[in-house]
Amino acid sequence: MNAGRDGGRLLLVDDDVILRGMATQTLRHAGFEVTAVDSGEEGLRIFAAEPIDLVLLDVMMPGLDGFEVCARLRATPRGAQTPILMLTGLNDAESVDAAFRCGATDFVTKPINWTLLGHRVRYSLRASATSEAALRSSEHLANAQQLARLGSWEWSVDHGELTCSKELLSILGRTGTDVPPLTADALLAYVHEPERLAVQRARHAAVREGQSYQLDFSIERPDGSRRVLSEQASARRDSGGRVVGVAAIAQDITERIEAEHRIHKLAFYDRLTGLANRQLFMDFSKMAIERARRLHSLCAVVHLDLDRFKCVNDALGQDGGDAVLRTLAGRLQETIRRADLASTARIDPEVVARVAGNAFTVLLLDIASNEHASLITQRLLQAVAQPLDAGAQALVLTASAGIALFPRDAQDAQSLAQKAEQAMYAAKDAGRAQIRFYDEEMNAAASKRLTLENDLRRAVRDGELCLFYQPQVEADTGVMHAAEALIRWRHPRRGLVSPAEFIPLAEETGLIVSIGDWVVQAVCEALQRWGTLGFDKFSVSINLSTRDFVEQDLVEKLETMVHRFGIEPRQLTLEITETVLMSDTDRTVARLHELRDKGFGLSMDDFGTGFSSLSYLKRFPVHELKIDRSFVRDATRGGLDAAIAGSIIELGKQFGLRVVAEGVETTDQAAFLLDRGCTTHQGYLYAKPMPADEFEAALVNGRTFLQGMSGAA
């Protein structure tokens, strides 16, 4: 019917007239040109005379049987390449074997499934066309494979043998002439260790269950270089469906992957700083918000914009400006890494992004509270504010930051980012170098703190700090034999600010270290001068914060100062609190001994408020106890406070320590203390802390401080 169409020319050899008729009809209908003959002899003749693309051959025929015809066809040059399908009985395993032995390409079982027959034929033809083409151009193919970095291997179950293509060996870096043949295990050993198990499993499943797979994995070459392979494998089965082997093609896709990485990098990372760009940051924020929603946790977006960055570019030029941005990007990342955040937040580089010329965004995951977000943001601003080395002069930049919180301020990444940016503009409006929450209420608290912190930095730099001195007197004679140096801040607008207000902040920000250094130097300087005025034995107490005390080079610093100003170490009494002593006792005890051995005085400040017990006191080599003001204040009311004050005094006596009562305000308190045997008093009753010059005058004039002389409480 449809004879002559381009499906291919078939030769059908079968002695069964009905089958011949049906098959011819079916195949013609499927688009083939069919010549049908009833004997092997006739078949061979036609094949020799006409161009035939495929032969369908019945096995059982009078005269030459199918096997014989097949063998003869295969012996001819053209017949060697032509696909031959044998028509056999269904359960005739012997015929199948014989058919393959004599060179059949495939077989079709009887009774014939007419629907499938056409497909089967077409498939055989196509396979033969492919292999013929491959054969014809095997050289081309090899070239093409090499170009495509396409290797292949085949493993046979029965022989346990692995055959590898040349190209595969070259991909594996297995070159040279005397390399031994690869085994399956050796092939697996090339796979990068962490991925090996997955590859092994897939290969096993292909062998055992005939499962195909497609896997991308890395291999490690003998020279240590890595390549990425994409391997596609499928099982080979015999006629009974048994898996007899696995064949695979493996393509070296390293360049493609690298290109993808490069494209990814270009698309998602900022070229200048290497930080994530806005796109990646948004993607990452979306994931983070989903996660926070699930875990009911808090997260925040900080939008940070450098203040007056244009000036930097103007002053340093484009390249200089770029270098500054890179440095700041590094600092922001480092700050986040060190921040007290959940571990995931610390390792993901995507949490810090550069979203515009001089604007950065930071994602804070798993924050504990709003306050926490503000604290980390302050660290970010501080990191920006560290002086930059810009050639000749040091450059100090500031940034303004806005914070928006999930879930409070927004429900999705887009609006969270917008709100953070809006808040940043509010920070700019408020005078720059500030932090603003999207929410107004939170701003009040945060900004007060930040202002104070910025002011304090300026104070340290511009010398707004000064020292007051408060005498420690012998209560009965009013003679002063020592003084405590107390820091004050002469705030340009607020006047004198008490240390109670700024010392905790200074400790938290680390500013305390430079403040501490300054105090030590100022006191040493004063002692030196007073020495020249004839008071070379006079001693001053200095308050050391925990941070000061644990500073690595505390002892060296103190010694250097003492040496530089030519005073005696015992003219300095270091006041430490019990919290200092609690921090790390072994190291602490060692440090106390060191200080004591160098000759410095040691005093335990605010004694009684902390955790000190008798056993501690035994271990800590201090010279002096200062009874905390609270016990002194309430001692005259009797009760527990009186008992504590009394026993501290008693304790001091037992350990041979000097006991100083601080905060003595009334004559009753003084009387109580004297009655218990504590004679050294410090407090408003005798003298308030006074400015250095006033104090110096009192010292030089040998002024005594009798009760009630200070005229204040």
C-alpha span between 35 and 43 (Å, rounded)? 9
Element (H, E) at 34: strand 33-37
Min separation Cβ 544 and ligand C2E, Å: 6
Closest distance to ligand C2E from the beta carbon of 678 (Å): 15
Residues 558-577 binding Mg ion (CB under 5 A) are: 575
The gap from C-alpha 547 to its chain's centroid, in whole angstroms, comes to 29
Q: Whose structure tokens read 């270098």? A: 323
- What SS3 state is found at 367? strand
Q: From the list 503, 602, 644, 659, which residue makes contact with ligand C2E (rule: CB under 6 A)?
A: 503
Q: In terms of Cα–Cα distance, which of 413, 410, 411 is closest to 363?
A: 413
Between residue 577 and residue 616, which ones bind Mg ion under the rule CB under 5 A?
A: 605-606
Task: Name which of Mg ion, ligand C2E, none residue 486 binds, using a CB cut-off of 5 to 8 Å depending on partner kind.
Answer: ligand C2E
Which residues fall within 8 angstroms of residue 449, CB to CB, at 6 or more apart?
374, 378, 505
| Nearest distance in Å: CB 552, ligand C2E | 17
Q: Look-up: residue for tokens 């571990």?
A: 343
Q: What SS3 state is found at 110? A: strand
- Residue 535 near which of Mg ion, ligand C2E, none (CB within 5-8 Å, type-dependent): none
Residues 270-299 that bind ligand C2E (CB under 6 A): none
Contact 437, 400 (CB under 8 A): no
> 519 near 542, Cβ under 8 Å?
yes
Residue partners of 597: CB distance under 8 A and separation at least 6? none
Between 307 and 662, name the residue whose CB sits nearer to Mg ion.
Answer: 662
What is the distance between the alpha carbons of residues 295 and 513, in angstroms, rounded to a whole number? 40
The footprint of ligand C2E on residues 85-124 (CB under 6 A) is none
Contact 255, 242 (CB under 8 A): no
Q: Using CB distances below 5 to 8 A depending on partner kind, what does residue 452 bind out of Mg ion, ligand C2E, none?
A: none
Cβ atoms 482, 681 nearer than 8 A: no
Residue 191: DSSP 8-state: B
**CA atoms of 504 and 581, how far apart (whole Å):** 18
Q: What is the amino acid identity at position 459?
A: A
Q: How far is the CB of 683 from Mg ion (least distance, A)?
A: 11
When the beta carbons of 38 and 575 are compared against Mg ion, the nearer one is 575
What single letter denotes the amino acid at residue 146?
A: Q
Does position 409 interact with Mg ion (CB under 5 A)? The reply is no
251 contact choice in ligand C2E, Mg ion, none (CB below 5 to 8 Å, kind-dependent): none
Comparison of 597 and 668: residue with beta carbon closer to ligand C2E: 668
- Closer to ligand C2E at the Cβ: 231 or 575? 575
Q: Which is nearer to ligand C2E, 41 or 517 (CB)?
A: 517
In angstroms, the CA 710 to CA 704 distance is 11
Number of residues that bind ligand C2E (CB under 6 A): 22
Between 358 and 679, CB nearer to ligand C2E: 679
| Residue 545's binding partner out of Mg ion, ligand C2E, none, with CB under 5 to 8 Å set by partner kind | ligand C2E
Q: Which does 508 bind (CB under 5 to 8 A by kind): Mg ion, ligand C2E, none?
A: none
Task: Give the nearest distance from C-beta 605 to Mg ion in angstroms.
Answer: 4
Q: Which of 647, 684, 703, 709 binds ligand C2E (CB under 6 A)?
A: 684
684 binds, among ligand C2E, Mg ion, none (CB under 5 to 8 A by kind): ligand C2E
Residue listed under structure tokens 């808040």: 423
Q: Is 409 in the site for ligand C2E (CB under 6 A)?
A: no
Among 212, 214, 344, 498, binds ligand C2E (CB under 6 A): 498
User: Is 328 strand, coil or helix?
Assistant: helix
Question: What's the closest the beta carbon of residue 665 comes to Mg ion, in angstroms?
Answer: 14
Q: Which stretch binds ligand C2E (CB under 6 A): 65-73, 76-84, 433-441, 497-505?
A: 497-505
Rounded to whole angstroms, the Cα distance separating 73 from 542 reads: 111
Amino acid 179 reads V
608 binds ligand C2E (CB under 6 A): no
Which residues share a beta bridge with 213? 233
Hey, which residues between 620 and 649 contact ligand C2E (CB under 6 A)? 629
Asked if 683 interacts with ligand C2E (CB under 6 A), we say yes
Is residue 624 at the binding interface for Mg ion, with CB under 5 A as the rule?
A: no
Minimum separation from the CB atom of position 709 to ligand C2E (A): 13
Least separation in angstroms between CB 536 and Mg ion: 23
Q: Which is nearer to Mg ion, 201 or 481 (CB)?
A: 481
Compute the least distance from the CB of residue 399 to Mg ion, in Å: 37
Nearer to ligand C2E, 291 or 688 (CB): 688
Of 10 and 480, which has the nearer Cβ to ligand C2E?
480
Token readout for 410 is 């927004």
Nearer to ligand C2E (CB atom), residue 434 or residue 577: 577
Measured from the CB atom, is 247 or 466 closer to ligand C2E?
A: 466
Q: Does residue 261 sit in helix, strand or coil?
A: helix
The token duo for 630 is 């609270």
Q: Find the binding residues for Mg ion in span 531-560 (CB under 5 A).
A: 543
- For the stretch 586-590, contacts whose Cβ atoms lie closer than 8 Å and that sit 24 or more positions apart, written own/partner, are 588/549, 588/620, 589/619, 589/620, 589/621
588-607 residues near ligand C2E, rule: CB under 6 A:
605-606
Helix (H, G, I), strand (E, B) or coil at 131: helix
Binding of ligand C2E by 499 (CB under 6 A): yes
295 token code pair: 């875990």
Residue 665 touches which member of Mg ion, ligand C2E, none, C-beta under 5-8 Å by kind: ligand C2E
> Which residues are CB-neighbours of 579 under 8 A, at least 6 positions away?
546, 610
| 561 to 580: interface string for ligand C2E, x by CB under 6 A | --------------x-----
From the list ligand C2E, Mg ion, none, which binds 608 (C-beta under 5 to 8 Å, kind-based)?
none
DSSP E strands, 143-265: 150-156, 161-164, 213-220, 226-237, 243-252
Q: Which of 651, 686, 499 is nearest to 575 (CA)?
A: 499
Q: Does 689 bind ligand C2E (CB under 6 A)?
A: yes
Nearer to ligand C2E, 374 or 682 (CB): 682
Contact criterion met (CB below 8 Å) for 583 and 550: yes
Assess contact for 487 and 505: CB atoms under 8 A: no
Type of residue found at 131: S
Length of the chain: 713
Q: Which residue reads 């690869």 in tokens?
A: 182
Q: For the chain, how are helix, strand and coil distributed in percent, rounded to 5?
A: 50, 25, 25
Please state the closest distance from residue 560 (CB atom) to ligand C2E, in A: 19
Out of 124, 277, 545, 612, the only residue in the binding site for ligand C2E (CB under 6 A) is: 545
- Are 416 and 301 in contact by the 8 Å Cβ rule? The answer is yes
- Rounded to a whole number of angstroms, the minimum distance from the CB of residue 450 to ligand C2E is 22
Residue 14 or residue 575: which is nearer to Mg ion going by CB? 575
CB-wise, 423 or 480, nearer to ligand C2E?
Answer: 480
Cβ nearer to ligand C2E, comparing 419 with 488:
488
Cis geometry, peptide bond prior to residue 499 (ω within 30 degrees of 0): no
Binding characters for ligand C2E, 425-464, by CB under 6 A (x = yes): ----------------------------------------
Among 145, 333, 358, 543, binds ligand C2E (CB under 6 A): 543
Tokens of 348: 């993901």
Task: Give the H or E element holding residue 371.
Answer: helix 370-385
In single-letter form, the type of residue at position 43 comes to G
Residues near ligand C2E (CB under 6 A): 470, 486-487, 498-500, 503, 519, 543, 545, 575, 605-606, 629, 662-665, 682-684, 689
Q: Which residues bind Mg ion (CB under 5 A)?
A: 543, 575, 605-606
